[in-house]
Amino acid sequence: MITGIKGGFKSVRFRRAAAVSVTAGAVLATGALTAVPAQAATAPTIVAKAGYVMNNANGAGLYSKAANTKRSTGSTTKIMTAKVVLAQSNLNLNAKVTIQKAYSDYIVSRGASSARLIVGDKVTVRQLLYGLMLPSGCDAAYALADKFGSGSTRAARVKSFIGKMNTEAKKLGLTNTHFDSFDGIGNGKNFSTPKDLTKLASSAMKNSTFRTVVKTKTYTAKTITKTGSTRTMGTWKNTNSLLGSYSGTIGVKTGSGDEAGYCLVFAATRNGKTVYGTVLASTNATQRATDAKKLLNYGFAKLG
């Protein structure tokens, strides 16, 4: 009797196992009832001529379009400008820099983006970093290059600073990157790639001051005038529209120019996962943001 019961259980178990086996076979054959794995997410189409997305946890590429093709980078160059400044030994972020007429003349002559710094004002290094990264001030970039380059003349100091930018690029292994300017307004030899810029941004974001600056939407600086009074500057607004339109965005920098087109180096964190990426040579500011969002969505979908 007991044996019979055991046999009955065996029989039931066999029938159940067979049923499971048949069902599994049908599912495998038809694809029914199966969840689409994250890795099967469809790669998006972007308007930008080049793009790259990376899993920040391990540096693995998640998307690539002409990712190693050298292109003009516009003001995304300023990521390296800030990184070089923040890498200075014994850096005092509260040190004051007097704004020179040369900085103002420079942005006027180049029609460059500006933080609207006022000649004679004393501005801290910290404030200059905000002026560099939020409104993309080429005047702020010039002031920082002049401050942190070495040499007895302004031209020598600027050349020295750009040299530091290229030294840092080599140290980071950015083999397809070269700078000939402190702000992206190059002279024919200022270029990088989506992959290199993404790696640069990931490295720069290891610095807490850099992270704080690039995730800030607006900033109002109080500078010291020639007479010693306090001037409240006009509010600087971050040109990275993803900060207000894509949940989890943590940075990092826009760029644009006749040669560069519209560029964006971006980063976002969701559910404990961080994705970095770059789009170069998109068609306008709205489109570069759209391209970036598509790549972020794809990156997070790939990570599951």
78 is catalytic: yes
147 is catalytic: no
Q: Which of 72, 75, 113, 256 is catalytic?
A: 75
Q: Which of 72, 113, 114, 136 is catalytic?
A: 136
Task: Please tell me the distance from the alpha carbon of residue 167 to that of residue 165, in angstroms, as a whole number.
Answer: 5
DSSP secondary structure string for all residues of 173-210: T-TT-B-S-SSS--SS--BB-HHHHHHHHHHHTTSHHH
The backbone torsions φ and ψ at residue 139, rounded to the nearest 5 degrees and listed phi first, read -70, -40
Please count the other Cβ atoms lying within 10 Å of the Cβ belonging to residue 69: 15
Spell 130-155 as b/e; 16+ CB within 10 A means b: bbbbbbbbbbbbbbbbbbbbeeeeee
Task: Please tell me the distance from the alpha carbon of residue 159 to that of residue 182, in angstroms, as a whole number.
Answer: 9
Q: Which of 78, 164, 199, 302 is catalytic?
A: 78
Tell me which residues are annotated as active site: 75, 78, 136
